[in-house]
């Protein structure tokens, strides 16, 4: 199974992912209807692309009164059924991250469906800040990055601290 | 009917009365002038006559986007600002990256047109189809960074995008700029002074709407193809890594790095201030909206005299203006100066040039040693540079003179100073020495906003690589086309560049990321994107005519203000003093030869430089021909 892996250090903040997403999801260039948002703390030079984590225990699906949110067998994405969704918004209340939203013009819940296995945010991202990779590997990559910081600290300690 | 690619409406704000009006965008105007500088030029032509002082209520201030703004088309985050320029007293515009332009469209407006003068400081807040003027009396006097932060705080939304002016704009410094979210600027032609003259401190915008496209599928294919080509371009890694400051070494080698106010074309100490030197201070690559390149670098000083300084958009022009231009090799002071110019709201190019002008006058004994309020005017004195930047923005002491720009400074100081005032039509020359690149010498002259490298943007013979030249213009112009010292074919690329630039600035995207520096988008690509966005069957030829129409109307506007061939000239130095440096050594700008050929290509009168009636009629500018009595 593959997941969206996000590396905020690599994100330049261009927001192309938002446009690519909204074009597929809503047919317009409209960040407000994108399922991914680049959150910014500009004074601190921090850009964080933020979207659905496809939670193992998905509260959005659990609270849905009509079972409109189900996991796609092929991609593992939690997908909103156009046929079933009432647009009640309970899922948006339940989600702890705000990554499922009501799309007003559509009148239904809208969330990342991994574009059926070819995420457009990944296609358009010019820096590799968003990648689509097997879960085992993304986890290991993060551990390695984290361990790298520890390793350099250990070297400092062993070398007697900063010169 | 939906006008795809456009918001379809714009705002007219009368600051004198406080009246705000929403106007439907005329589809014919859209197709004929596209947007951006096209719309602005038409508005100036129609509404701001030659009798209007640029800093009076009669001037307009136009913030405009284009049909590709806010889309996936590479670098679609540009905002065009148009007004009569307080430097040239004629046509003026300036372009900024950042995030304001797209946000304005998402809020439902293609542009905002300001007129009049507010009785008290105000800012305009726009959100989803609505706009209101708000009190800005507590913001008046504050720097651009703080103003932006306070507006976001007041309105309670960190995603609000702003255009702000600093003290320089409030004090009508003639080269004041407009700062655009986040840390970007519409730098040139004094647009910030026009904003200040209207007591308009800021424009803030938030939009949740979108841009519709006539053919979304086709548009996606075309944009992805353009993105892929840009990412594979041979200059892409360099521009990503160093931004425009990475050019410093090349420009020095070719003798085009204006040093000590253009006395030299190369600066011995340039390795201390170029892109590679700057890299140690870079903390983050920052992209403007929808940009695959991110040429902008956030730069921070963690130690030293200017510890704690954070800035971005520290471009080649900053390195040139506050570095080589004044003989300064202290990079940290350039970083500091860049931050100051942004925060005070001043164009770094013109600001640097006023200082280098003063230093040369000091060197030559044209002004007495105590002329600058006791500041030492020796080359490279960066404390003097930083002090003068503040004095200029606040119009304190000698700063009150610098705030007028070099042309007016020379009038005040006396005729012996005039040859060292490096400007064309009142706007200071940026960091290119035309004596080392003939096309640039011509471009500075024919630019419609006074001295400027970005109208024609002749990059083809700047770098001298054959493959992009052949790809864009064909084999028949080689090898002279890429030889910076040859004059042959240069009027052709200057004209073509000006027309293409007019279209790119009107469509709303970037000249670094895609069109001129990383040059992967040409006339055909542009026409394709506009077809898919708008649904028009617009061809490359129609687009070329649109670019020519916009440029000719800007020229006509300047003619209306008394400018013609007599003003199409350069400071004496560029025409008679051979460049002493680099591969440009021994050359002057061969202006008159190129100018004749340029006029012929443009269909302008050889003697007067005025567009001919025949050419104006071809371009659908009958009204311009009538008004100029041609």
DSSP string, chain A: -EEEEE-GGG-----HHHHHHHHHHHSSB-GGG-S-EEEEEGGGTEEEEE-----SS-HHHHH-TT--EEE-TTT--EEE-TTT-----HHHHH-SS--SEEETTTTEEE---GGGG--HHHHH-SSSSEEEEEHHHHHHHHHHHHHHHHHHHHHHHHTTS--
d(CA B579, CA A106): 65
SS3 category, B266? coil
d(CA A20, CA A27): 10
Q: Which residues of chain A have pLDDT under 50?
A: 161-163
| Cβ–Cβ gap B72/A42 under 8 Å | no
Which tokens is B403 given?
A: 């705030």
d(CA B335, CA B331): 6
pLDDT, mean over chain B: 97
Tokens 């991914």, residue located: A36
Among all residues of chain A, which has the CA nearest to that of B149? A43
Would you state the pLDDT for residue A158? 64
Dihedral, B368, B371, B373, B379 alpha carbons, nearest 10: -80
In this model, does residue B341 exceed pLDDT 50? yes
Overall average pLDDT of the B97-124 stretch: 98
Would you state the pLDDT for residue A163? 43
Would you state the pLDDT for residue A159? 62
Tokens 């296995």, residue located: A117
Overall average pLDDT of the B246-273 stretch: 96
| Cβ–Cβ gap A29/B208 under 8 Å | no
| Cβ–Cβ gap A14/B287 under 8 Å | yes
d(CA B601, CA B545): 13
Overall average pLDDT of the B326-341 stretch: 98
The alpha carbon dihedral of B479, B481, B484, B486 has a sign of positive
Which tokens is A155 given?
A: 């070297």
Cα of A130 to nearest chain B Cα, Å: 14
In this model, does residue B474 exceed pLDDT 60? yes
pLDDT class of B340 with cuts at 50, 70, 90: very high
Dihedral, A38, A105, A113, A125 alpha carbons, nearest 10: -30
Which tokens is B569 given?
A: 């000239």
DSSP B29: H
225-254 in chain B: CB under 8 A from chain A: 227, 231
Q: Please, which residues bridge with residue B186 across strands?
A: B178
pLDDT class of B441 with cuts at 50, 70, 90: very high
pLDDT digit string, tens, across residues B126-138? 999 999 999 999 9
- C-beta of residue A14 within 8 angstroms of C-beta of residue A73: no
| Cβ–Cβ gap B210/A42 under 8 Å | no
Interface check for B291 against chain A (CB to CB < 8 A): the answer is: yes
Q: Please, which residues bridge with residue A69 across strands?
A: A80
A140 or B176, greater pLDDT: B176
Would you state the pLDDT for residue A162? 46
| Cβ–Cβ gap A30/B289 under 8 Å | no
In this model, does residue B5 exceed pLDDT 50? yes
Tokens 């939304």, residue located: B157
pLDDT digit string, tens, across residues B375-422? 999 999 999 999 999 999 999 999 999 999 999 999 999 999 999 999
Would you state the pLDDT for residue B462? 86
| Cβ–Cβ gap B210/A30 under 8 Å | yes
d(CA A34, CA A24): 9
Which tokens is A72 given?
A: 């796609």
Among all residues of chain B, which has the CA nearest to that of A23? B216
pLDDT digit string, tens, across residues B385-397? 999 999 999 999 9
Q: Could you tell me the pTM of the whole model? A: 0.96
d(CA B452, CA B444): 5
Cα of B114 to nearest chain A Cα, Å: 27
How far out from the chain centre does Cα A18 lie?
Answer: 11
- Phi and psi based region of residue B582 (left: phi greater than 0; alpha: psi -120 to 50; beta: remaining): left
Among residues B189, B353, B386, B347, which one has the least CA distance to residue B262? B353
Name chain A contacts of B284, Cβ cutoff 8 Å. 45
Among all residues of chain A, which has the CA nearest to that of B183? A42
| Cβ–Cβ gap B293/A126 under 8 Å | yes
- C-beta of residue B254 within 8 angstroms of C-beta of residue B264: no
d(CA B610, CA B624): 11
């Amino acid at each position: 199974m593959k997941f969206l892996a996000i590396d905020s250090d690599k994100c330049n903040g261009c927001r192309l992912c938002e446009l690519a997403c909204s074009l597929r999801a809503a047919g317009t260039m409209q960040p407000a209807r994108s399922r991914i948002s680049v959150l910014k703390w500009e004074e601190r030079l921090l850009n964080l692309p933020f979207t659905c984590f496809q939670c193992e225990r998905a509260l959005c699906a659990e609270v849905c009164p009509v079972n409109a949110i189900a996991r796609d067998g092929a991609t593992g994405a939690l997908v909103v059924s156009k046929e079933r969704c009432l647009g009640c918004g309970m899922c948006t209340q339940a989600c702890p991250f705000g990554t499922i939203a009501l799309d007003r013009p559509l009148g239904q819940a809208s969330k990342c469906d991994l574009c059926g296995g070819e995420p457009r945010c990944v296609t358009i991202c010019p820096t590799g800040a968003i990648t689509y990779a097997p879960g085992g590997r993304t986890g290991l990559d993060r551990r390695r990055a984290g361990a790298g910081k520890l390793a350099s600290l250990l070297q400092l300690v062993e070398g007697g601290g900063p010169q | 009917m939906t006008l795809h690619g456009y918001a379809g409406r714009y705002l007219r704000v009368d600051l004198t009365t406080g009246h705000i009006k929403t106007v439907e965008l005329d589809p014919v105007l859209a197709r004929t002038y596209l947007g951006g500088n096209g719309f602005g030029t038409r508005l100036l032509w129609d509404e701001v006559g030659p009798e209007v002082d640029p800093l009076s209520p009669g001037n307009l201030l136009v913030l405009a986007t284009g049909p590709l703004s806010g889309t996936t088309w590479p670098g679609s985050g540009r905002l065009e600002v148009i007004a009569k320029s307080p430097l040239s007293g004629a046509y003026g515009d300036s372009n900024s990256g950042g995030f304001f332009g797209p946000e304005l469209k998402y809020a439902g407006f293609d542009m905002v047109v300001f007129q009049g003068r507010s009785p008290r400081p105000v800012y305009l807040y726009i959100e989803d189809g609505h706009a209101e003027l708000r009190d800005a009396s507590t913001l008046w006097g504050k720097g651009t960074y703080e103003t932006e932060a306070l507006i976001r705080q007041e309105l309670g939304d960190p995603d609000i995008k702003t255009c702000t002016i600093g003290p320089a704009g409030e004090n009508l410094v003639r080269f004041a700029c407009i700062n655009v979210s986040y840390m970007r600027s519409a730098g040139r032609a004094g647009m910030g002074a026009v904003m200040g003259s209207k007591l308009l401190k800021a424009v803030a915008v938030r939009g949740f709407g979108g841009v519709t496209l006539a053919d979304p599928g086709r548009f996606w294919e075309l944009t992805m193809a353009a993105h892929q080509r840009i990412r594979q371009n041979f200059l892409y890694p360099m521009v990503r890594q160093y931004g425009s400051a990475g050019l410093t070494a090349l420009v020095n080698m070719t003798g085009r790095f204006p040093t000590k106010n253009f006395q030299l074309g190369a600066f011995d100490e340039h390795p201390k201030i170029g892109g590679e030197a700057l890299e140690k201070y870079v903390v983050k690559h920052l992209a403007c909206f929808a940009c695959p390149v991110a040429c902008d670098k956030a730069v921070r000083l963690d130690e030293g005299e200017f510890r704690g300084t954070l800035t971005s958009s520290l471009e080649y022009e900053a390195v040139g203006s506050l570095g080589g231009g004044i003989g300064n090799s202290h990079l940290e002071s350039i970083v500091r100066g860049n931050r100051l110019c942004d925060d005070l709201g001043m164009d770094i190019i013109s600001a640097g040039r006023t200082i280098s002008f003063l230093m040369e006058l000091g060197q030559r004994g044209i002004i007495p040693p105590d002329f600058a309020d006791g500041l030492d005017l020796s080359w490279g004195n960066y404390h003097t540079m930083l002090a003068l930047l503040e004095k200029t923005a606040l119009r304190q002491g000698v700063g009150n003179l610098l705030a007028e720009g070099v042309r007016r400074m020379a009038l005040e100081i006396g005729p012996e100073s005039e040859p060292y005032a490096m400007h064309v039509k009142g706007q200071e020359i940026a960091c290119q020495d035309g004596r080392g690149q003939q096309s640039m010498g011509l471009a500075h002259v024919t630019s419609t906003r006074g001295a400027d490298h970005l109208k024609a943007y002749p990059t083809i013979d700047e770098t001298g690589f054959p493959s992009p030249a052949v790809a864009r213009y064909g084999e028949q112009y080689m090898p002279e086309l890429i030889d910076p010292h040859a004059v042959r074919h240069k009027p052709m690329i200057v004209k073509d560049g000006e027309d293409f630039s007019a279209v790119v600035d009107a469509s709303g995207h970037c000249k670094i990321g895609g069109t001129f520096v990383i040059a992967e988008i040409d006339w055909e690509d542009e026409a394709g994107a506009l077809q898919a966005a708008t649904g028009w069957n617009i061809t490359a030829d129609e687009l070329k005519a649109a670019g020519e129409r916009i440029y000719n109307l800007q020229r006509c506007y300047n003619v209306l203000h008394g400018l013609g061939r007599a003003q199409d000239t350069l400071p004496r130095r560029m025409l008679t003093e051979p460049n002493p440096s680099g591969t440009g050594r021994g050359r002057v700008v061969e202006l008159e030869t190129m100018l004749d050929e340029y006029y012929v290509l443009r269909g302008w009168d050889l003697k007067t430089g005025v567009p001919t009636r025949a050419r104006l009629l071809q371009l659908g500018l009958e009204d311009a021909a009538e008004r100029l009595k041609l």
